[in-house]
Amino acid sequence: MEKRILLTECTDDVGLIAKITNVCSLFHFNVIRQDQFASSEDNKFFMRTVIEGEFSDEKSNETFVNTVTGVLPQGAHVRLVGTGRKKLCVLVTKESHCLGELLMKAYSGAMNADIVLVAGNYPDLGPLAEKFDVPFKLVSTDGITKEEQEKRMMEVIDGCNPDYVILAKYMRILSPEFVGHYPLGKIINIHHSFLPAFIGAKPYLQAYNRGVKLIGATAHFVTNNLDEGPIIAQDVIKVNHRYDPETLAKAGHDVEQMVLMRAVNKVLDDKVFIHGNKTVVF
Active site members:
227
CB proximity list for 3: less than 8 A, separation 6 or greater:
32, 50, 51, 52, 83
CB proximity list for 66: less than 8 A, separation 6 or greater:
none
Residue type at 72 in one-letter notation: L
3-state helix, strand, coil in the chain (%, to 5): 35, 30, 35
The DSSP result for 103-123, as a single string, is HHHHHHT-SSEEEEEEEESSS
Secondary structure E strands in the chain: 2-11, 30-39, 44-53, 77-82, 86-92, 113-120, 136-138, 164-167, 187-191, 214-221, 231-238, 272-275, 278-281
Distances in Å between the alpha carbon of 254 and those of 160, 204, 217, 267?
Answer: 29, 14, 9, 20
Between CA 108 and CA 280 the distance in angstroms is 28
φ, ψ of residue 46 in degrees (nearest 5): -130, 135
Closest CA to 45 of 10, 78, 80: 10
